[in-house]
């Protein structure tokens, strides 16, 4: 496996060397979404999601992100642009060195401070591993992070574990039961959807995105800084994980749809 990352020598502009689709693919993600160009679509069934609150979820420093692994059989996402039942596999986030940058998806050229991804797989393929390379294999919720005054209590169950997974490869367990429902914005009236790719290698074009850009989640500066304190390597003194987002890719002829909840 190539040693990809977000540094000068292994960052997004170099990924195509080992993963040609990153440069040659026509459906790469993220993209810069021009909100006035989105097309309203009203014929889709209602997007429904349900997650159980679970104990003892594993959290890992992958060297590129933190990742919380969810347990199969405890979630379902159906409707909207999805034509089958999808299950939550894992969640992770992207962020920046400073506020003002950090999200992967960008709206009219403007970034949020971070972006949380819920990665679901299509249950018709039986497992995440089988689904990951199928065009309709994955469905990703994008939830945006904004630094404000208050701690987000549910998100805090994740960020309080950063000190126990400081180095790449370290794994720990969430101390409190995590309810993913409390991380999805409340009172959503609409979302955006389009077909794109994993935003990290291998950049497979297998993702249906569902983007909740109208209601970002507010987290505290302390919560954001705890994510920035993660290390990208296995030794003390290596670089901090301060910037782990891919810049926008060409939209090409893809249309972003706007769906009412």
With respect to Zn ion, which residue has the nearer C-beta, 44 or 58? 58
Size of the site for Zn ion (CB under 5 A): 1
Among 133, 147, 153, CA closest to 202? 133
With respect to Zn ion, which residue has the nearer C-beta, 122 or 235? 122
Stretch that binds Zn ion, among 9-17, 113-121, 179-187, 222-230 (CB under 5 A): 113-121
What length is written for the chain?
Answer: 261
- Shortest distance in whole angstroms from residue 124 CB to Zn ion: 23
Alpha-carbon span 77 to 63, nearest angstrom: 29
Burial of 259 from C-beta contacts in 10 A (0-12 / 13-18 / 19+): buried
One residue of 105, 117, 157, 246 binding Zn ion per CB under 5 A: 117
Question: Do the beta carbons of residue 81 and residue 48 sit within 8 Å?
Answer: no
- Shortest distance in whole angstroms from residue 105 CB to Zn ion: 10
* Closest residue to Zn ion: CB criterion: 117
The DSSP call for residue 246 is P
With respect to Zn ion, which residue has the nearer C-beta, 65 or 251? 65
- Shortest distance in whole angstroms from residue 244 CB to Zn ion: 9
Stretch that binds Zn ion, among 48-56, 117-125, 146-154, 224-232 (CB under 5 A): 117-125
Contacts with Zn ion by CB under 5 A lie at 117
């Amino acid at each position: 496996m190539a040693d990809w990352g977000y540094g000068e020598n292994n960052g997004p502009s170099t990924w195509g060397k080992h993963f040609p689709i990153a440069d040659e693919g026509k459906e790469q993600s993220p993209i810069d979404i021009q909100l006035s160009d989105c097309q309203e679509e009203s014929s889709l069934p209602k997007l429904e999601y349900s997650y159980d609150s679970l104990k003892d979820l594993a959290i890992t420093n992958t060297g590129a992100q933190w990742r919380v692994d969810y347990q199969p059989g405890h979630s379902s996402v159906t409707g909207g642009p999805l034509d089958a039942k999808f299950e939550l596999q894992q969640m992770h986030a992207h962020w920046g060195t400073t506020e003002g940058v950090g999200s992967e998806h960008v709206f009219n050229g403007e970034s949020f401070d971070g972006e949380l991804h819920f990665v679901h797989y299509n249950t018709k393929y039986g497992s995440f591993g089988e689904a990951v390379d199928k065009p309709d294999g994955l469905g990703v919720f994008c939830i945006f992070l904004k630094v404000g005054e208050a701690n987000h209590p549910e998100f805090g169950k994740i960020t309080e574990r950063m000190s126990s997974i400081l180095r790449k490869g370290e794994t720990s367990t969430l101390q409190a039961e995590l309810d993913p429902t409390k991380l999805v914005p409340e009172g959503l009236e609409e979302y955006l959807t389009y077909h794109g790719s994993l935003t990290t290698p291998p950049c497979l074009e297998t993702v249906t995105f569902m983007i909740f850009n109208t209601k970002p989640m507010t987290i505290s500066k302390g919560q954001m800084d705890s994510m920035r304190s993660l290390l990208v390597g296995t030794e003390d003194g290596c670089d901090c994980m301060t910037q782990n987002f891919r810049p926008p890719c060409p939209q090409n002829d893809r249309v972003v749809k706007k769906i009412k909840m």
